[in-house]
Chains A and B, each alone.
Chain A
Amino acid sequence: MNEKNEWDELVDRHLHGELSELDKEYLAQLLDSDSAARKKFVEQAQWDTRFAEALREGHELFGDSSGGVDENALFAERAVALPERAPTSLRGVSFNKILLVIAGATIIALATVLYFERAGAELKIAKVTGLSGSLTWIGDGGRIVRDLSVGTELSGGTIEGMAPDSWFELEFEDHTTVMISGTSVLTFSDDGQKKFHLKQGTFSANVMPQQPGKPMLLNTRTAALEVLGTQFNVDAGLFSTTLNVSEGEVRVRRLNDKKTVVVGAGYRVVAAPDREMSLARVPDSINGWKSQLHLGVRNGTLGRWSPGTGEEGAQLRAVPYITPTGRTIYTASFGVSTGDNPPVVLHPDSTIQVRGHLRSAHKMYIGMTVRHANGDFAGRFQAIRPAAEFRSNQSFKVELALGEFTLDPSLDKIRGRLPDGPVGLIVESIWCHTLFDPAGLVITELHLIAPADSARE
């Protein structure tokens, strides 16, 4: 069959809803990439539809209305093959046809009952293999579950990290693992093809080879990703999506203009409507980082930000969130290695300096969430400063060496799979919080000081 025939058949099959997923993708590519194909497609679709309309309306065109094909037999075939395609009008149809329609409707009703019975059984598709912090899972039918634990089997649904220290890992039957951390919102399903929608936040995955024609799909507000088998992490904000690929390849499609790029290992791409979508090598890591609140806040930041006014500099005020046990934590959190910023890696001699203000002297927790280079969660490490070190209504400056940070006790259950300390790992976020009482915590500057920085200072 020549090219013209192939095109004709592709459009014909599309107009009859007969394209496979691969064919759909192929046609979408053709239309996206070729203006002449778009024009031809519209012309053909219009011609074809007018032709169908004329044949349907003008039975006089046929003379003999059957045209050599038994009408009732064809109707029966259609009723069996396409049960959802009910005719819009029964005017002029025979009694046999009505019976067929009733039979079709009965089949559909039975199928619907069976479907909902099956849905009610909630087919489990994945198992929780790690979690910490405040999380909410919303299952099919809007069922809300807050008491998730390792080993819980889940059907499709939405998992939401409620706090900066939230972390959740899910393993599918084929051993593909996905993870979210911080205040991320992820919807997932697996009906033979894994599909995710990352509304916001940080997502990473270790994807086993997927079935041919059924790649893992991840949608964000700004991009659509297609994954066959790889390691990658994604940071999705309101206006952009950043993808870093550690192994394999991921195909990214920007939603506003459908531009597509394939991102290989060691590369990253930022998909945002207002910037060039080009591949770049994952930037070399750096060791130092400063909050620079006067410039605003970046993805992954949690707190109430206010710009500098008069003598007061810009600041991030702690905001409350309620833990699953009903207690309140007041937290201010900074996204560090987020978006298209270079990864910030902890040097053994790095220190963390926090400047801020407390309305009432209070014990303060300073911590960081870290990840491995491939995006895998590597734990949360924290240090505690007693209330005695602070004065009410006074500014403070705290300096901490990395050796003072220990694993967050809530991760004890998975201690064996986490590193002993944060050195050498990528800092995803740094957070400060007070527990249970509103101590009026305000952070004015957070500085991760690398040895070279401290030598300069």
Chain B
Amino acid sequence: MDNSEAKRDRVLKAALDCRAELLAYARSLLGNYTAAEDAVQEAMLVVVKKYDVFQEGTSILAWCRSIVRIEVLRAKHRVQRERSLAERLLDDAVDAAFEEFQTARCQDDVDSWRQALDRCFQRVPEQGRGVLRARFVDELSYQQIGERIGMTIEAVRKALFRLKKQVRSCVETSLRATQ
């Protein structure tokens, strides 16, 4: 394997390890999970083509994020010609927040997090799982979830908040216990 191929493999592996972080970033800018997945996928194709531009020793996450941002802007341009002023302001603020505070997690953390989530999710009652799935997998609005399962919007709102809090604190407690 020559130096160039070795570098390509290193860069690609590092970029793929950041996929979850990049997905969170793209979703924060696009407000849609599927669109964010597409943007990250497009960005990964750019990483494959441009890996030799990446300066090893610098932050792979920051580099990939800059590529994702371009793909996000392209995606936005495809569905709306011009972003509103509020949207531009919010995009800039979100971008600055990620630049300031986002860090990549190591693979061990990811694995133990997934195991903890699996355990904690089993404790959520069946209807609660339906609400979470409707929101996170099917991306339904509060109103659509409410109509579907016979709850008021307020009840859906409260249930979502409570369920997310319950799962999150369970995962965090579980991770602390295993450390």
* Residues of chain A with a CB closer than 8 A to B157's CB: 1, 9
- CB of A234 within 8 Å of the partner chain: no
Q: A49-B23, A51-B117 known; A77 and B140 CB under 8 Å?
A: yes
* Residues of chain A with a CB closer than 8 A to B41's CB: 88
Evaluate contact between B114 and A54: CB separation under 8 angstroms: yes
- CB of A82 within 8 Å of the partner chain: yes
Q: Which of B27-61 contact A (CB under 8 A)?
A: 27-28, 30-38, 41
In the assembled complex, the CB of A15 is this many whole angstroms from the nearest CB of chain B, namely 6
Is chain A's binding surface mostly helix, strand, loop or mixed?
helix
* Residues of chain B with a CB closer than 8 A to A16's CB: 31-32, 135, 139, 141
Q: Which of A1-50 contact B (CB under 8 A)?
A: 1, 5, 8-9, 12, 14-19, 21-22, 24-25, 27-28, 31-32, 35, 38-39, 41-43, 45-50
Most buried by B among A69, A77, A78: A69
Evaluate contact between A52 and B20: CB separation under 8 angstroms: no
* Residues of chain A with a CB closer than 8 A to B88's CB: 224
Evaluate contact between B130 and A67: CB separation under 8 angstroms: yes
Tell me, in angstroms, the Cα distance from A78 to B148 when the chains sit together: 12
Q: Which of B124-171 contact A (CB under 8 A)?
A: 126-127, 129-141, 144, 148-149, 157, 160-161, 164-165, 167-168
* Residues of chain A with a CB closer than 8 A to B31's CB: 14-19
In this complex, what residue of A is CB-closest to B101?
A42
* Residues of chain B with a CB closer than 8 A to A48's CB: 24, 136, 164
Q: Which of A32-87 contact B (CB under 8 A)?
A: 32, 35, 38-39, 41-43, 45-56, 58, 61-64, 66-70, 73-75, 77-78, 81-82, 84-87
**Interface range on chain B: under 10, 10 to 19, 20 to 34, or 35 or more?**
35 or more
Evaluate contact between B126 and A68: CB separation under 8 angstroms: yes
Tell me, in angstroms, the Cα distance from A82 to B144 when the chains sit together: 12
Evaluate contact between B24 and A18: CB separation under 8 angstroms: no
Evaluate contact between A81 and B144: CB separation under 8 angstroms: yes
Tell me, in angstroms, the Cα distance from A226 to B86 when the chains sit together: 10
- CB of B102 within 8 Å of the partner chain: yes
- CB of B70 within 8 Å of the partner chain: no
* Residues of chain B with a CB closer than 8 A to A46's CB: 20-21, 24, 102
User: Mind listing 9 A-B residue pairs with CB under 8 Å?
Assistant: A16-B32, A24-B84, A24-B87, A27-B93, A51-B167, A53-B20, A61-B122, A68-B127, A77-B148
Residues of A within 8 A of B (CB): 1, 5, 8-9, 12, 14-19, 21-22, 24-25, 27-28, 31-32, 35, 38-39, 41-43, 45-56, 58, 61-64, 66-70, 73-75, 77-78, 81-82, 84-88, 189, 193, 195, 217, 219, 224, 226, 253, 255, 258
Residues of B within 8 A of A (CB): 20-21, 23-25, 27-28, 30-38, 41, 79, 82, 84-90, 92-94, 96-98, 100-102, 113-114, 117-118, 121-122, 126-127, 129-141, 144, 148-149, 157, 160-161, 164-165, 167-168
- Known A31-B93, A67-B127; further 11 A-B contacts with Cβ < 8 A: A18-B141, A24-B87, A25-B90, A35-B100, A39-B97, A41-B94, A45-B28, A49-B24, A78-B140, A85-B35, A224-B85
